[in-house]
Structure 1
Amino acid sequence: VLNTEAREARELIVSSLESGIRVEDIYLQVFEPVQHEIGRLWQTNQISVAHEHYATSVTQSIMSELYPYIYSASERRNLKLVAACVNNELHEIGIRMVSDFFEMNGWESIYLGANTPPEDFSGIVSDLKPDLVALSATMTFNVSHVRHIIELLNELEDRPPVMVGGYPFNVDIKLWKKVGADLHAADASGAVKVAEEFLDI
């Protein structure tokens, strides 16, 4: 991807799916490790922000082509997730992967994207009444926004459980409790298991 070979990357993923490899395995063995490596290269100043944005854009473009496979991966289970990045957070691919994993496991995933205004997020949660809410913050300075959104959700009459994730929560394993969340998932692959164990379903 960093060699600007987007077409080749797409063809590799599509051919893998056509050969019988599961969408889940593409996410776990390709998208997730690639994003971790891109993040590491950026943090160590080995690539620029432009390179990081390009790699993320290519990955998201390929992910968008996989939704026919994702939507047909499992029977619907009458479970609903609302997921988003908090306000000011632009790194959305992680929470998008989480949302897709829930979709692959039979949930209806309502993914709101990056930089979601707190009041709007609380409002849609109030309207949709999901079984679970997922919030993501990659940058440490956005943790305060996670706390603020949870405080708004606490004002709802029937607040759903709140799961949080992102780099700061993986570094400080108790941070999710400090912001008032109900559960934490370290990655997309574990999020569904953690949530369903918490909900006892």
Structure 2
Amino acid sequence: MSENVVVIYSGGMDSFTVLHKALRDGKTVHALSFDYGQRHKKELDYAAAVCKSLNVPHKIVDISAINSLIGGSSLTSDIDVPEGHYEEPSMKQTVVPNRNMILLSLAVGYAVSLEANEVYYGAHSGDHAIYPDCRPEFVEKMSDVCRIANYTPVEIVTPYIKDSKTAILTDGLKMGLDYGETWTCYNGRAKACGKCGACEERLEAFRENHCTDPLSYE
């Protein structure tokens, strides 16, 4: 019998690759997505479609009530989404206060209920400059806490913590994954904007892999 694991699955490129990596490793994946009051729900629609096609158990949990506590981000408040690369200081406007600690805590509770010992999420090196809760030191300390917070010890697993978005895409392409099944853009319009930090990094990853992004752009 394969091992139960929880994968925090946003519907974006990174978590899409992590989801498939866990499946390729023979894990029994339970995908978990969150509606935390983010600017749009398009990623969640993509996540639901992928899990349905893979027959992966999937929960979308509405925690949007916390939006009143974690405002001040362009992803959760009425603030324009900045354009440019993640390394630019303006991208700090996309930081949602304490987001990953909150989401990981909920995912760990779900893991304990499933008697699962691992929670996967898609932190990677490209996030380190802007997002403190994607850095190795955060993951290490969070994992330490999650090993002792319950009778069931839970490990936080970040397969790509030392890798760039380009390297994640390289790995996914080797697995034959279709990234047309993912959504990255911070704007939830019919087509991806191509200008926000998420789009910039995604397009850079495709360029560096010498291939074309299957998504349509404005």
Could you tell me the TM-score, scaled by structure 1's length? 0.32
Larger proportion of helix: 1
- TM-score by structure 2 length? 0.30
Q: Which has the higher contact order (CA 8 A, sep 6+)?
A: 2
